[in-house]
């Protein structure tokens, strides 16, 4: 299994820098200590979502009797939808109403570190789908361990991006964040098409012979 593509896909989907404006918005009234706590919880939560998806995601879809080929096609379509949103300079996992719902969570006293920052802005269905698809391709325990390790990388990237949120916002500005989000969306779109194509070939083997011509 190519161990580089999962990391590229994860970083493109999670895109912590693209979520920085939301982090700034949700924590603007927080003290420094509260903001640091939010950063730590978000980073750990992002790691846990990725690790659990890699270790148990495949068993969950098998429990529901879903084939990995069908999951690849569905997951690929979901990734493509996320990529299109990113090409419009929106976070990959965002949905209409995320900001208002997140504010309601704050007003209700819930931790915005988990909802909506980690779920669904940082990680969500597209992230989980990606981890399940790549976990199915592993053949050795160490490959699975590498996928879990990528969760650490994403957690660290989240920690660094959120910690430097104020400097990032001043340095690259909103335009720079939009450009980076669109670039990562383009990379994600290419990966999504590849995943869908692999799933379609498994579902319809006759396509393989046509693709080889």
- 29: burial class by Cβ within 10 Å (0-12, 13-18, 19+)? exposed
| Model pLDDT, residue 51 | 95
What are the C-alpha distances in Å from 104 to residues 7, 14, 93, 100?
Answer: 33, 23, 19, 6
Q: What is the percent of the chain with per-residue pLDDT over 70, rounded to a whole number?
A: 85
pLDDT attached to residue 154: 95
Burial pattern 58-95, b for ≥16 Cβ within 10 A else e, equals beebeeeeeebbebbbbbbebbbebbebbbebbbbbbe
Which structure tokens are listed for 42? 């978000």
Residue pLDDT, tens place only, 19-37 = 888 788 778 778 888 888 8
Q: What is the pLDDT of residue 96?
A: 46
Residue 53 has pLDDT above 80, yes or no: yes
Instruction: Give the C-alpha distances (Å, rounded to integers) separating 83 from 11, 54, 134, 187, 199.
Output: 12, 21, 18, 8, 18
Q: Is the pLDDT of residue 94 over 60?
A: no
Name the band, by pLDDT with cuts 50, 70 and 90, for residue 100.
low
Is the pLDDT at 182 greater than 70? The verdict is: yes
Interval 103-123: pLDDT, tens: 443 432 237 788 778 887 898
H helices of 64-124, in order, are: 68-87, 98-107
Comparing CA positions, the residue from 50, 16, 17 lying closest to residue 124 is: 50
Average pLDDT over residues 128-142: 88
Concatenated DSSP letters for 31-47?
-HHHHHHHHHHHHHHHH
The mean pLDDT value for 36-62 works out to: 90
Predicted pLDDT of residue 58: 81
Residue 102 binned pLDDT confidence (cut-offs 50, 70, 90)? very low
- In angstroms, the CA 160 to CA 34 distance is 16
Q: Could you tell me the pLDDT band of residue 144, with boundaries at 50, 70 and 90?
A: very high
The domain of 107 spans 4-211
Category of 209 on φ-ψ map: left (φ > 0), alpha (ψ -120 to 50) or beta = alpha
Q: Which of 7-16, 66-75, 155-164, 187-196 has the highest mean pLDDT?
A: 155-164
Residue 19, both tokens? 């979520």
Q: Provide the domain count of the chain.
A: 1
The helix/strand count (H/E) of the chain reads as: 9, 0
CA angle, 127 then 131 then 137, to 5°? 150
- Locus of tokens 């590849």: 194
pLDDT at 160 over 60: yes
Please tell me the predicted confidence (pLDDT) of residue 109.
28
- Average pLDDT over every residue of 91-110: 46
């Amino acid at each position: 299994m190519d161990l580089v593509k999962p990391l590229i896909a994860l970083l493109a989907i999670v895109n912590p820098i693209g979520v920085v404006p939301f982090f700034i918005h949700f924590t603007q009234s927080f003290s420094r200590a509260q903001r640091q706590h939010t950063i730590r919880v978000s980073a750990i939560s992002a790691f846990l979502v990725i690790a659990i998806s890699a270790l148990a995601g495949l068993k969950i879809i098998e429990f529901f009797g879903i084939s990995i080929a069908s999951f690849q096609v569905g997951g690929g379509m979901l990734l493509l939808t996320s990529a299109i949103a990113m090409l419009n300079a929106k976070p990959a996992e965002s949905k209409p109403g995320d900001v208002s719902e997140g504010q309601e969570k704050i007003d209700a006293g819930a931790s915005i570190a988990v909802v909506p920052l980690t779920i669904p802005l940082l990680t969500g269905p597209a992230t989980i789908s990606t981890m399940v698809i790549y976990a199915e391709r592993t053949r050795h325990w160490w490959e699975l361990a590498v996928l879990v390790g990528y969760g650490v990388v994403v957690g660290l990237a989240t920690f660094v991006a959120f910690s430097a949120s104020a400097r990032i916002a001043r340095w690259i500005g909103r335009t720079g964040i939009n450009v980076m989000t669109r670039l990562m969306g383009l990379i994600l779109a290419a990966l999504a098409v590849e995943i869908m194509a692999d799933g379609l070939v498994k579902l319809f083997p006759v396509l393989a012979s046509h693709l080889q011509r």
